[in-house]
Amino acid sequence: MRDNFNAELKELNSELVEMGKMCVDAIHRDVDALADEKQGDIEEIKKVSENIAKKQQEIEDLCYSLIIKEQPVAGDLRMIHTASNVIIDMQRIGVNAYDVAEIIPYVADSQLKTQVPILMMADAASYMVSKSVESLVNRDSDQARKIIAYDDEVDDLFDEVKASVIEAIRGDKKKDASPGIDIMMIAKYFERMGDHSESIARHVLHLLNQ
């Protein structure tokens, strides 16, 4: 019985890693779409986001099965409960990635997207997602703390984007301010991805009682 439970718990870890990779893929596709503004890229991001939602459901079903069929002990139950919380954050990251994709066509002709650290924010969000999931699978409290601290860098980058956009709008009041606002929204979604990654890391610390 325990061997079967251990096998399913290992499967749970693998599924969490896979969902994390899907989130990172969605962010990378955002970056590509920002560079090329291809509608096909945006449609692909929508599909990835939908697949992330499906993966969430699959993992929820697996967690339910582990609880009902295997009757885990307290420590394992905490892990299953943590996984159930983490996949909510990852699903929201997938939604945020699609939110970014929907805005991209509106900044296609804006020079601001090359003048502000949007791509740096995307890279930072991607890093935080992958490392926060790793910290859960590896039960690594040190890495979880690093992710929590790293979120400050993402917040600082958002402040840079905001300041740059405000300066650009003030510098040429005849220009349409809409692209600048759209770029700030994209930056805000990347910031939220960082927040969700921080949340995952905090779930890890809670799991480890730290």
DSSP state of 38: -
The number of domains in the chain is 1
Instruction: Please give the backbone phi and psi of residue 72, each rounded to the nearest 5 degrees, phi first.
Output: -65, 155
Phi-psi region of 175 (alpha: psi -120 to 50; beta: other; left: phi over 0): beta
Q: Please, what is the end-to-end C-alpha distance for the chain in angstroms?
A: 31
Do the beta carbons of residue 5 and residue 76 sit within 8 Å?
A: yes
pTM across the whole model: 0.91
Query: Which residue type is seen at 192?
Result: R
Residue 19's domain is classified under what CATH number? 1.20.58.220
pLDDT tens, N- to C-terminus, the chain (210 residues): 567 778 888 899 999 999 999 999 999 999 888 877 665 678 889 999 999 999 999 999 999 988 887 777 888 889 999 999 999 999 999 999 999 999 988 887 777 777 788 889 999 999 999 999 999 999 999 999 999 999 999 999 999 999 988 888 787 666 667 888 899 999 999 999 999 999 999 999 999 986
CA dihedral 114, 116, 119, 125 (to 10 degrees): -170
Domain that holds residue 108: 2-207
